[in-house]
């Protein structure tokens, strides 16, 4: 191959090389692992049981048990992401869509917190959500509509 061609092709190939999962941004991970259900606007599909994030998702982030719940939603558990990536994509969701529901003393998830909360055994995530929603309800904090009993 002529040298000039190599000098054009090699940098082009390097630019096109896929970045490893570790290097993907939270935004990219959201698109790849979450948006299929939650949508690009974060509005979900409430009738199908995918809760709306907009102006609501922050409610869970202000409560100890709510933060544990977030680390056990099926899309996060089954995402195949590392704990550091889960922290980043969860913070991305909350910072992008919580709006007014973002607690005043909001603390982003760290990798260590994700590891710790994922180790807690939550056999029934729907029951866990119900329990957390009851606490938030009693505090006058709204959460997304959810069709499961």
Q: Tell me the C-alpha distance between 133 and 143, whole Å.
A: 7
User: Residue 115, Cβ neighbours under 10 Å: how many?
Assistant: 15
Write each residue from 71 to 110 as x if it is in contact with ligand HEC (CB under 6 A), else as -, in one continuous string: --xxxx--x---------xx--x-----------------
Nearer to ligand HEC (CB atom), residue 141 or residue 144: 144
Pick the piece of the chain touching ligand HEC (CB under 6 A) from 2-10, 14-22, 70-78, 105-113: 70-78
| CA 70/CA 129 separation, integer angstroms | 9
Nearest to 20 by CA among 77, 70, 68, 85: 85
**Region of 12-20, 45-53, 98-106, 113-121 interacting with ligand HEC (CB under 6 A):** 45-53
Sign of CA dihedral 18, 96, 37, 126: positive
Binding site for ligand HEC (CB under 6 A): 33-34, 36-38, 49-51, 57, 70, 73-76, 79, 89-90, 93, 125-126, 129, 143-144
């Amino acid at each position: 191959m002529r040298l000039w061609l190599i000098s054009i092709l090699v940098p082009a190939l390097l630019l096109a090389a896929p970045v490893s999962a570790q290097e993907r941004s939270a935004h990219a991970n959201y698109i790849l692992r979450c948006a299929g259900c939650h949508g690009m606007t974060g509005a979900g599909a409430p009738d199908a049981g995918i809760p709306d994030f907009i102006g609501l998702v922050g409610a869970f982030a202000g409560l100890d048990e709510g933060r544990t719940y977030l680390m056990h939603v099926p899309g996060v558990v089954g995402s195949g992401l590392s704990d550091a990536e889960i922290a980043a994509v969860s913070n991305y969701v909350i910072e992008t869509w919580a709006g007014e529901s973002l607690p005043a003393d909001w603390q982003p998830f760290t990798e260590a917190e994700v590891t710790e909360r994922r180790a807690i055994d939550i056999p029934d995530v729907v029951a866990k959500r119900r329990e957390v929603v009851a606490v938030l309800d009693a505090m006058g904090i709204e959460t997304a509509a959810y069709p499961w009993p």
